[in-house]
Structure formats: C-alpha cells, structure tokens
Structure 1
C-alpha cells in the first residue's frame, strides 16, 4: 500500500466519532479489542498482510473509541468536586494548575481542587474547577498559587440547540468538573505560593516576566498582539482589534498554530544553514542541510514550552516536527503519510482534538496546500535563468515567487472555506487581499522578530527593548492596514451553517476543478519540447470525467439550496421554537409561507462579555438557514429578554421591530433604539388596543398591556412593574392558538381572565419562566393548554419552573416541556394537529388540537 497510514488514520477517526456519538457498553470495548488482536495474530501467521493491515485499522478504531469514551464518560472519582455542586455556596481549597486566562474584564483560573468544606467538615475533593473572577482582580494569580474561595459550584452545561457549541463536552475533555464565578475577587484567599510543579512554575514565572517586559516597552494594542504571538494569550487582545482580524480572515496569524511554528522552524533553518555554510570545516565534515534542520528542532521545542505547551500548541508543534523529521530523513515526497502520522499521534494523546477547530483547520489547510498548490503552480510560468539581464532575471524571479505566494494563499483559503463557514458562519470577502498584505508583515517579519525577542530577553534587556519596539512598529503598521480593510462594509458576510452534504460536495468540486486545471495544463504543455529536443511525454487523461463531476456538484448545491428555500415558503405549518438561552426567553416563530418572527432575545444579567445573541441565538438561526427575520418582538426591557437582540439587529436583515410604548420609552431601550435608526428598521409600538395583524395566514393578537399602563416616574421603576407591562401575544392558525405571555404575574393573568377576550391556546409559553406566582389555576383553566413550555436555565437560583406551576399545568391536562432539561422545544401545527420535538430527545407523539 502506497500510503498505509491514511486508512489507519481513517479508522482512528471513525472510532472517535462512534464513541462521541454513542455510549458503548464498557464490557464491549475490551472484548472487541481482544477479538481484533486474535484476528491480527491469525492473519500474521498465515502471512495475509493486507488483511492484517485492515485488522490493525480495526484495532486502532477500537482503541480510539476506548480512549474517547474514557474522556467523555469515564466513571468519576468518588471524591469528584462535582458532588459539591448545588444551590448553596461551598468553600473550596485547591491549586491553580493551568496558566490563568485573562480578558479585559475577567480572569479565569483552573483550580485543581484538594478539599471542600461542607457542614463544618473538610472533605476530600478531586478534579478541576473553572473559577471566573471579575476584574480588576486585587492580585495577579499565577500557576502554583494555593487558594481558598467560597462560591456556588455548577456542573458545566451547554445551551442545547441545533448548531450550538457543545461547551459541556469541551470542558469535560479538559477535565473540568465544575464551574464557579465571583463578582468580588477579594473573596479569594491566597494561602501559599509555589504549590505546583517546580519546573512548570519556573516556566510560568519566565512567561509572566516576559509578558510584563513587553507591556512595559510597548503600548496597547500592539503589546497584546505581540504577547499573543509569543505566549498565546489571544483573549487579552481588545475586542475591536480581534473583530478586525475576524472580519479580514487573518486571525490565524495571531494564534499559535502550525503557521506560526512553521515560520519559526523555517527562519531558524535558513539562519543555521547560512551560518554553517560559512565554515569550511563544517561543510567538509557534515551535510549542512540535515544538520541545519536538526538544529532548528531546538528553537521549535523551546518556543513550544514558552508558548505554554497547551494542547493547541503541542498539536502545532507535533505537526511541524513531523514534517521536519520527514525532510531530515529524505522522505519529503511522502508528506501525506507524514501528515497522517502527525494526526495519529495527536489523536492518540488527545482524541478530543478531532473536534477542535484549530486541529481541523490546520490539517485541512496543509492537505490543501499539498494537493492544490502544485497544480496551481503549473499555470505559473517558470522564469528562464538563461534569458535576460541579471536585473530582469531577478525581477522575473521575484514575480514568480509572488505568484507562488498567491497560489499558496488561495489553496489554504479554498481548503478551509467550508470549515470556516461551518464553525464561524462568517466568510471574509477580502481575506485574499488581507492575507497578501498581513502575512509578509506580521508573519514573515514580526514572528521571527518576536522569537528573537525571547532570546534577547534572556541575555540583554537593552536589545530586548529594541526588538520589542521594532515588533511593535510592525504590528502598528499591520493594525492600521487591518483597520482600513475591516472598515469596508462588505469586508465579511455571515452565512448559514453548511451541512455535511454541502461540505462534501464543495470538496469534491474543489478536487475535480483542480484536477481539471492539471489536465488542461498538461495539454497546454504537449507541444513543448524538453532540453534534448524531444516532445515531453504524452498526456492522455480525459478532461470529461472531472468536468462532469464538477458540474454535478454545482447542480447539487443549486438544487439543494432551491429545495430548502421552497420548503420554507411552502411549509404550510406554524412552527414555534423555544430556544434554549438559559435563564431567559427567546422564541422563534416560523409561519406557513416563510415569514419569521423572533420574540425576545434571551440574555443574562451580570455575565461579562457573553453575548447571547452572538453565541447562542445566531448559531441556531444560521443552522436553520435563517439570515432574514421579518419581525423582532421585545416583550419588556429586562436583560434576560433583551440581551441577545442587539447582535441580531446588527447582523440579520430585520424588517420591523414591535414592542410596547412603555418599553420604547425606557432608558434601557436607548441602545436598541439607536440600532433601529441606524439600520432603518421600522419601530412599531403596540398595546391591547392595537388591531390584530394577519401574516402568512396566522392571526396575531395583542392582549396586553394597555396603551400606557402608568406614567414613568423620575425614580428607578420597580422590577416587577416591567414584568407586568410585558407584551402578551396570541397567535391563531385555524383551530390552534399559541400564547406568549412574557413575564406577567398572577395579577395581570387575573385581568386577562376578567377581560372577556378569547385567550384560549393549545400551546403556551409558561409565564415568567414558570415562576410560582405565575400560571395561576384560573388563568390556565381559561387557556386550556395542551402543551406548556417553560424557558429556564439549568439549576437556576429561582427554582424555575416551580413544582407548583408544573402541578397546576398537569391539573388542566397540559404536558410540560422544559428547555433546561430538553433543550430547544419545537411545536409544529397545521391548525389541527400538534407535534412536539425536543433537541435532547426523539420526536414525541403528536397530540390532537381541541
């Protein structure tokens, strides 16, 4: 087999995927591995090498599945710190065991717990706790600090929606068993320092000293970018600068990846080769190229340690070192096998890396470079070294290298495009131009300069200060260019999440197109003669198969897009989805002919830099192929309903915005009002006096509040008043009604019952997330719901939905669904039948409308 490692890697990936998708019986895995080993032994005895190779692959799949299942579902220790999670604060003592992650407004500490205080008794505790401290912190905690803190522990959880990021799995793979947060960092007590590994402590001390040196000799934001390139703390970069990198598709330059470490390896290889070539003794005694490559391994390993030796850094280093080893032993023609070997090593150490974005982008980019770039290079004329003057030959050589650089950039962009769209839902339209400008400055110049800065910091503060200033100058020029490019209104666009078939079709299209270019290049060269005057070998490959495959892929993508568009517009049903936004509320209404209404946007009070709209709502909408929303509705201006709306207004096509006059006149609404004016979105204030609206055959009624329920006083309004001024909507399609009551209390419910208006509804969102004081029995009896959905956060402090409300719902014959336990809940109705589907369960049996 020409490349035996590629199928073995495929088996390994298959095992990881199976274990991540299905919970396999513990006894099955060792038994399967034993069977595989027996088959392998039998095949080797009978000398059936091909069968033995496939059996080795099966063994790798089983082994990978075992490792992945242990990481995801391994039995927790009896002393696991997660057993202390609950509504009451717990005193925990432990050691900071990872490099602290700092952002402009908080610090995240990974604390390896040692013991916890419960009922005045210290009990052993094991496992990691992710402790978030609101900055400014009174002291800078570092690795090895032994701490004591008192906080409420929470088991890590995710927002369970289609297309959402699985934070729970991400943290579990890091060994984090609990989370905690403190608004007052002074509540953390430093017991002692130096409790970690001595070598790691010295390394972290060196990293912190280098960081402080950079901060002292460069200004913001240049210093944050420099330390990100060297130390990997990209979270400290100001948000507006990070956004500019994202908009221009150049974020990979400031993240420690194979790109950065590859530049460092190349820089030191050429540096060592140039130095060794000056010595006649070395030239006579050693082959310079392999020696220079071997010496370049040392700075790569040193940089890996200084960068923190985190899993992402180790992955990049393993990949680069594997390629360096291939070049060192003369196997540069077998780079696909080398790449497969690097991937197998990484996945053997950390199976969860398969789901890491940086792992996927790095390896797909390299595969694309290996496959696409040589075929694009066929279309770049090589300069003839025997023609022209020295100046013209040099000029043609520069043009040729520039063209190759463009080909490399294009190959990497095309190869990673589907993954970028899948993970980030964003495509930069100027990424090509931005990378052609930024890579030479920040990549080829600044990264080697920053590496030399590390060496200078060890030996000479003066030289290190000069190098820091030089690096800061390069970064400043880069950021100026970056800001100009990012300010273009069409610099980047958000796109729906591609599915597996779309991504596969794109890659098949890319391969077929590139091979077509290769065939055309071969045909173009048929009439050329080689140096001996003979015709170059005939090229008889047909273009037709590749052209047919490429055309079929394009046709598939067009037809699939048209199918989704027509399906949405001809659904003929009303779909109501209570999106899991934690302790908040956001409901998407998809009407029979394709119109969409978003009622509230979720959000959380007191969570810094967490944008529910960007990180929860938008990924769900993109997954559902939604870029346009006809109406956004805000029931009342509390953060758990309004927090995610600004991002939606900024980045989706919104036609109208509905809310109450009370909300529109509140100071909390001012930022939203500015966005509406800037985006040209129509603002409509509604009340119970507003006429009902019909959209796509669905009647939308406004049941509450009155036109102006009170005159706003000068003092801060009562929190409950805003709840009771919530906009209450009732949607009707044929015989089925849907009630969305906001956060109203029992007092308003009583008013609605006495109003005499028809408030019946087969589907209802629980008022105020299922609070005990809402959902009174007379209200429920007047509505007669069959389905009640409570939008609440997991283990929330308010106890929503309250058991008393759940019992009242059952009394009137309603089935209760909860986003904290079932994730996103979708109700589909054609006006007669009702179906309920939850994200964390199979489709539930359909009910019959009254």
Structure 2
C-alpha cells in the first residue's frame, strides 16, 4: 500500500513538469485505464495515473476559469463580494472579488483588483465596480518569479484596475477584518502590522525594510503564518494535556491521549480559521491532523507514513499547490528533520538537537533553493537559532492571548504591547545580523552540478558511520562554485529583460559586462532590485564594467541605484546626468566614443542638438563578428533624422525599437535605411500609452523585420556574432503559459 501511495504522490506532482495538459478525452480515459490496472500487480501504475488524471483535471478547471481573450483589456461593470483582507497602502487599495458576475459576460470566480485612490474597502462587502479586466499575466524572465504560475495556484482568473464603483451591501461576518482593525489600533510599540501578520497572516502592513530584513536572515516564515505556527500551538495544547495527565491533574475518567490529540487539532483548526485558511494553512492543518492521528493509532507504521499521507492529502485537496515554492520548502524541511532525527545513532541533548536541526535544514534545503532560483540567506541558521524560540515561546503566545482578551479593558492591549516590544527587539537583532551577512543569490548551476550537490546534501544528512559521508562537502560545494559560461571571443550574450514599461538589456562578452538601462522604478516598486539585480547575479556577474543609462526617465534609469547598491560598477554613463542620482557619479555620454572588448566593438552616439530627455538618449551600437545591434533608448524622429547622417546608419541585424514603439519614433526613412532583420520591443502589457503603435508595427513588417516583444514573449536572449535565432522565455512551455508569439500579423497599412 505504501508503494501505491508513493506512486499516487508522483502522479500528482507530475503536473508541475507538464508543458501542456492532455486533451479532455485523455483525462476521461486515464481513470478508466487506472481502474482496469488496479487488480493486477501493476497497481502502482494505476495509482500514478489516477493522481495524474486528477491533477490535470483540476488544473484544466482553473485554466477554463480564466478571463476570455475577448474581454482582455475591456472595461466592464460587475458585482462581487470582497474576500480575504483588503490591502491598503500608498493610496492604492488591493483586494479580491469572489462570486463576480456581469449581466453580459461570464467572469472568473476570483478576480484580483487594485483601486488607485479608492475608498476604504472591507472584507465581506458587496460592490458594483467598473473594472478594466486583464488576463492573468506578469513579468517573465529566465531567472525570475513566475507571476502566472502564482496566480493560477491561487485560482485567480483575472486581474484588473477599478475605475469607479459603489458599495451595494455592508460587510457580513467580517470578523477577521474587525480583528485586524483592532490590532492596528492598539499600541504595540510600532509593531502593530507585525502582530497582524503573526495573528491573521496579513503581511500587507509590513514595511519594505521589514521584508528586506526577514528575507536577508531567512526568517520570513516566522511572520507569515506557516506550519510552524500551527504545529506550535497544537503542540502546546498537546503538551499541556499530557503534563496535566502526568501529574495527576487530568480527570481520570477522560483518556488523556485522545483528548490531547483532539484538543490539539481543534486549536490548529481555530488558528487556521483566524489566519484565513489559505492553502499554506490548509496544508499545515492537514499535516498536523495526520501526525496526531499517527500518534493516536498508527505509531507502528513508522514516522514516514504520516508525511506521505499528508503529501497526498494536500495535493488531492489542491493539486496546484505544487506550483508554489512554499509547498516544496515546507515538505522538504519536515522530511529533512525526519531523516536526520529518525536515523541518529544515540540521544542528543536538547541544545544539540536544536542547533543541529538548524544546520541540517540549511544543508537539506540548499539544493532546493538552488533549483527554485531563490536567494539563500547565509545567516539563516544563526538567525533561526534564536528567532524561532523567541517568536514561538514569547511573541506568539502573547499575541494570541492579547487578541483573545482584547474585550477585557487593559489586559488584552497590555499583552499586545508586550508582544510588540518583544517583536521590535527581534527585528533590531535581525537587522544587525542582516547588515553583517547579506543574502546570497547564487549563479545559475548546470543540471549535472546540481544533481551532484543534491547527492552531497543527502550524504551529509545521513547518520555518522555511513561510508563516504564526508564526501558530501565537496559535492555540495560544486554548486557554490559552478563553472562560468564561456562566451567565445567576438561574440556577445545579449538578454533583453522583461521589465514591463521600461528597458533593461544585459550585454556580456567573455570578460566584460555592460548594462544598458536598469528598468523602471515607481514608488516602492523597483524593478532594478526585483528583476535586474537578481538576473545579473544568476548570470554569474560579479561586477559591471559599464552601466549605460540612455536618459534619466524613471522607466529607464529608475532601477539604477538599486543595481549600483548590489553590485560594484566601474563606470556609469548617462545621456542625462542631471536627472540621475548623485550617488551614481554618472559621466556624460560622449558621442563618437568607441572601444573594444574581447573582439567586440562598441560605439556611442548622442544628438548634439537634443533638448528634451527622450531625444538626448545615448545610443549604443555593438558589432560582433559582422552582426550588428543598435540600442536606441527613447530617441524621437528628429534624433533619428540626425542619426541617419552618421556612420551608425547602416543595415542593422538587431534594432531595439525606439521609445517602445511609440508613434513619435521609428520614422519611415529610419526603418528603411537601417533595414533591421529583427527588432526588439520592451514594453508593458496593456500599457496606457498604446505602445507599440499599429502603424509602427506595420512599418517594420513592411520591410520584413521579425518582431520580438517582451510583453508577448517575455525576456529575449540572443548571441550576437553567432547569427542564431533568439530564445524567448515564453518558448519554455508550461501548461499555464500562453505560447510565445513569433511575429505580429496585423492587417494595418504601412504609412
């Protein structure tokens, strides 16, 4: 039976690897075939097929609930109920609508919307809203966060921005929102938002600096309700009943073990409801329930049995959970602890068990963090060594007790004041640690090296006495120092990142790296920190030889400061130095400057008579083994006319479309004289500027240019000097992604 359960888990997990879902007909055939195989010795295959069929069926339902293509970008009046806890900050209200409906169109069950300058919105209210709807999408880079997968795992069928609305009905049974308002109103020594995150799972009020500290020390799990919090509360209840029974204080007529397990599970469910009972909390409650059931009736089956059952139960309830990194990290952490403690040769003292647990989790999760592309906190073992007991034994009990006793004047608020003070001390200690030991973003590791590092981690998790156990260290370190990609002389590895409505292009020769523009920054949303810097580190870049900022507009230079803080930059050059941060020390673009790196020629140009920011863009031409690339920033038609009189106005293989495809650029003479074989467009999907303009696209099509658009295809890689076809991030097929579009086919006359 255990083999069958393992096969079922593999079938459910196989969904994560599928490039496309099987046709609906196959989803009907697979269960029939599985049932036919059950009576025979091939029953593991039957369980695998059953798991795969159920996972694919559930995923197909989620895909079918997405917004239709016809409604993408359309504004519709709809009605819906606010679910979850709305997030409010920086003048924007973000919330989810459930049970949405429109008089004319079928809408997804869950829609995530934002309302710029909107009124206060509370959970449980019904609203009538005018929403500009969008299909689930997000930035797509080779090494970045996959927003589409995350939205699908949340079963969000559409996103949108609210234009207008009116409240139809007040909130009903919005007790979680009421508790949040009370928590935010008390005096918790400035840590009211942290207590709301700890008690309710609402981290929207945490400042960006708080998130940076938590990520830098690997302690995010302490403020986001996870299995640790659920398990801690149920463990405390279990220990309380067991202690009362041990000292004769528990009623003898009540068997203590069933009552301890039942009360512990009830406490887990209550905390889960308080936290909103989202998928991670459901996963934790399932795991706690199965462990308690194992403790009550099935201890003879071994400790691995409840873990396997919990894995299957979670995936059956929500097969899309495997799309979330938290699913893999939580089960892997439990598996590491089970493997380490069940295989020990002798008893450990409490302090030994606690310190070894932190290091074993760090070693065990290291390969998983690598393959998931997540940053690795080098200070996490030390930080969790004191932060976990501080939160678990002090802050969390005080916060929960204070929340339950808020109705008692002075008592509840006093406990929350103490909890806030304890949490503030913890943040101060973590901030000191994060400043001393920064987070590490490892470079991309080849699959072979990753498999060896996984083998090394498994060896190190084995008990003492296992042969060749110490070989785990050199195998693990292979992933720390992977071989760097060797770029041939005379070639450039070019990657246009998907940064939305902005521009960032990474150019790497064998020994040098240049960054052309650094992506946008709007308020706290800094693409330089979120996309550009992590990509550079994943590519193995340790320093920038040149950061060239075409001009000072926020969509091109907004992320420059974050990049400069994260990596050493030898030289910064800007088309506009006045509008750039003084900390960059940017030098002015010198038109005609020419240099050579590793057999590749670079040349700058800037229109001398330019007056405004776009026209002053610093243009870069790159020549590699006879193949040319021209990066133009946001130059307009007048600047294009001036460029056509320079040596750069020659037939070009690759052209970055000026000003994201704006109608004010890409004039007919410019396109005709450069005659690009392919063009690169960097823009935001559904942007309000109408980029790229249909006439501009038709103009490039008229001259036979292939068009590659970041909004449609994600990040784009090409090898300049090798005369090869580019690679697009969206061409890496996943069942939740819309296939990449190779070129536009729009019947718009060229003018």
What TM-score results when the alignment is normalised by the length of structure 1? 0.80
Change (3 A) 1:329 1:3: farther
The question of 1:476 aligning with 2:466 is answered: no
Cα 1:844–1:795 shift into 2, 3 Å: closer
Distance change (3 Å), C-alpha of 1:557 and 1:579: closer
1:640-655 equivalences in 2 (<5 Å): 640-655=555-570
Contact preservation (8 Å) 1:583, 1:604: no
Question: Is 1:170 paired with 2:117?
Answer: no
Counterpart of 1:368?
336
Q: How far has the Cα of 1:732 moved from its partner?
A: 1.6
One of 73, 79, 84 as aligned partner of 2:71: 84
Q: 1:348 aligns to what?
A: 316
Q: Distance in 1 between matches of 2:680 and 2:262?
A: 63
* Offset of residue 698 of structure 1: 1.6
Aligned counterpart, 2:496: 578
| Separation in structure 1 between the aligned mates of residue 228 and residue 448 of structure 2, nearest angstrom | 29
CA contact (8 A) 1:780 1:809 kept: yes
Q: Spell out, residue by residue over 1:374-431, the C-alpha distance to the aligned partner (whole angstroms, 9 max, x if none).
A: 55x5477x6xxxxxxxxxxxxxxxxx21121111222222222233345464222222
Alpha-carbon spacing, 1:685–1:268, altered in 2? closer, same or farther (3 Å):
same
Alignment match, 1:455: 404
- Alpha-carbon distance between aligned partners in 1 of 2:372 and 2:243, rounded to the nearest angstrom: 42
Q: Is the 8 A contact 1:232 1:255 kept in 2?
A: yes
- Given the alignment of the two structures, is residue 561 of structure 1 paired with residue 529 of structure 2, yes or no? no
Following TM superposition, by how much is the alpha carbon of 1:497 offset from its aligned partner in structure 2, in angstroms? 4.3
Q: Is 1:829 aligned to 2:712, yes or no?
A: no
What does residue 590 of structure 2 align with? Answer: 687
Alpha-carbon offset, residue 838 of structure 1: 2.4
- The question of whether the paired residues in 2 share the 8 Å contact of 1:737 and 1:762 is answered with yes
SS state of the match for residue 427, structure 1? coil
Deviation at 1:279, TM superposition (A): 4.8
- Return the alpha-carbon distance in structure 2 between the equivalents of residues 658 and 495 of structure 1: 28
1:242 to 211, 226, 230: 211
Whole-angstrom distance in 2 between the partners of 1:332 and 1:301: 26
| 1:193-208 pair list within 5 angstroms | 193-194=170-171, 201-202=172-173, 204-205=174-175, 207-208=176-177
Counterpart secondary structure, 1:97: strand
Question: Are residues 1:308 and 2:287 paired?
Answer: no
Question: What residue number does 2:119 align with?
Answer: 138
State whether residues 149 and 188 of structure 1, in contact with CA within 8 Å, keep that contact through their aligned partners in structure 2: yes
The structure 2 residue matched to 1:508, chosen from 455, 462, 469, is: 455
Which residue matches 1:260? Answer: 229
Any idea what SS the aligned residue of 2:330 has?
helix
State the secondary structure of the residue aligned to 1:628: coil
SS in 1 for 2:666: coil
1:150 alignment counterpart: 130
Residue in 1 that maps onto 2:529: 614
User: Matches of 2:250 and 2:631 in 1, distance apart?
Assistant: 84
CA–CA distance in structure 2, aligned partners of residues 164 and 281 of structure 1: 54
Deviation at 1:352, TM superposition (A): 1.1
Partner of 2:394: 445
Q: 1:551 to 1:233 in 2, by over 3 A?
A: closer
Q: Which SS does the other structure have where 1:457 is aligned?
A: coil
Mapped to 1, the partners of 2:508 and 2:233 lie a distance apart of: 52
> Aligned partners of 1:24 and 1:31: how far apart in 2?
11
Q: Is the 8 A contact 2:399 2:415 kept in 1?
A: yes
CA distance in 2, matches of 1:341, 1:234: 30
Q: 1:5 to 1:296 in 2, by over 3 A?
A: same
Inter-partner Cα distance in structure 2 for 1:445 and 1:293: 23
Q: Cα–Cα, structure 1 residues 792 and 481, in superposed 2: closer, same or farther, change >3 Å?
A: closer
Distance 1:631-1:301 versus aligned 2 partners, 3 A rule: same
**8 Å contact kept, 1:81–1:113:** no
Residues 547/281 of structure 1: CA separation in 2 closer, same or farther (3 Å cut): closer
Give the equivalent residue in structure 2 for 1:8. 8
Conserved in 2, the CA contact under 8 Å of 1:737 and 1:763?
yes
1:518-560 Cα deviation digits (max 9, x unpaired): 216xxxxxxxxxxxxxxxxxxxxxx25x566x478358658x8
Following the alignment from structure 2 to structure 1, what is the Cα–Cα distance between the partners of residues 65 and 196?
39
CA contact (8 A) 1:6 1:337 kept: no
Matches within 5 A, 1:694-843: 694-706=596-608, 709-710=610-611, 721-755=612-646, 758-830=649-721, 833-841=723-731
Larger Rg: 1
Check 1:341–1:461 CA distance in 2 against 1; reply closer, same or farther (3 A cut): farther
Residues 782 and 95 from structure 1, CA distance in 2 versus in 1: closer, same or farther, beyond 3 angstroms?
same
CA distance in 1 between counterparts of 2:97 and 2:68 reads 11
TM-superposition CA deviations, 1:280-311 (whole Å, max 9, x none): 6723x344234322222221111111111111
1:231 Cα deviation (Å)? 0.3
Deviations 1:137-170 (A, max 9, x none): 532x222211123342222212222122221232
> Which whole-Å CA distance do the structure 1 matches of 2:578 and 2:80 have between them?
49
Does the CA-based 8 Å contact 2:86-2:95 persist in structure 1?
A: yes
Match of 1:17 in 2: 16
Is the contact made by 1:613 and 1:645 (CA closer than 8 Å) also made in structure 2? yes
Is this contact kept in 2: 1:159–1:616, CA < 8 A? no
Change (3 A) 1:784 1:56: closer
State the shift of 1:346 in Å: 0.9
Question: For the residues of structure 1 that align with 2:440 and 2:678, how far apart are their CA atoms?
Answer: 38
Is it true that 1:664 corresponds to 2:577 in the alignment? Answer: yes
Q: Distance in 2 between matches of 1:463 and 1:431?
A: 35
Q: Which residue of 2 aligns with 1:596?
A: 513
Q: How many residues align?
A: 735
CA contact (8 A) 1:81 1:128 kept: no
Over 3 Å counting, the alpha-carbon distance change for 1:757 and 1:324 in structure 2 is closer
- Shift in Å, 1:2: 6.0
CA shift, 1:635, in A, is 0.3
Structure 2: how far apart are the matches of 1:827 and 1:244? 36
Distance change in 2, residues 1:796/1:492 (3 Å): closer
How far apart are the structure 2 equivalents of 1:501 and 1:764? 36
Distance 1:502 1:269 in 2: 44
| 2:172 matches 1:192 | no
Select 1:56's aligned residue among 43, 47, 55.
Answer: 47
Q: Distance in 1 between matches of 2:741 and 2:59?
A: 30
The equivalent residue for 1:389 is none
1:408 paired with 2:311, answer no
Question: Is 2:179 the counterpart of 1:210?
Answer: yes
The gaps in structure 1 that reach 5 residues or longer are 195-200, 383-399, 521-542, 678-682, 711-720, 846-850
Q: 1:151 to 1:10 in 2, by over 3 A?
A: closer
Identify if the C-alpha distance between structure 1 residues 796 and 477 changes in structure 2 by more than 3 Å, giving closer, same or farther: closer
Distance 2:705 2:183 in 1: 62
Greater shift, 252-261 or 417-426, is seen at 417-426
- Aligned-pair CA distance for 1:365: 0.4
Distance 1:290 1:505, change over 3 A: farther
Which residue of structure 2 lines up, in the alignment, with residue 68 of structure 1?
59
Separation in 2, partners of 1:261, 1:584: 42
- Contact 1:82–1:177 (CA under 8 A) maintained in structure 2: no
**Distance in structure 2 (CA, Å) of the matches to 1:114 and 1:168:** 21
Name the SS of the counterpart of 1:754 in structure 2. Answer: coil
SS class of match (1:153) = strand
Structure 2 CA distance for aligned equivalents of residues 494 and 793 of structure 1: 26
How has the CA–CA distance of structure 1 residues 572 and 335 changed in structure 2, closer, same or farther, with 3 Å as cutoff?
A: farther
C-alpha distance in 2, partners of 1:93/1:75? Answer: 17
Aligned to 2:198: 229
CA-CA distance at 1:125 after TM superposition: 4.3
- Secondary structure (helix, strand or coil) at the match of 2:43 reads helix
Determine if the alignment matches structure 1 residue 128 to structure 2 residue 50.
no
Q: Find the aligned partners of 1:703 and 1:664 in 2 and give their Cα distance.
A: 15
Residue deviations 1:169-195 (CA, integer Å, cap 9, x gap): 32233332322235x8xx43212214x
Spell out, residue by residue over 1:330-372, the C-alpha distance to the aligned partner (whole angstroms, 9 max, x if none): 4276221211111111111111111212211111000000112
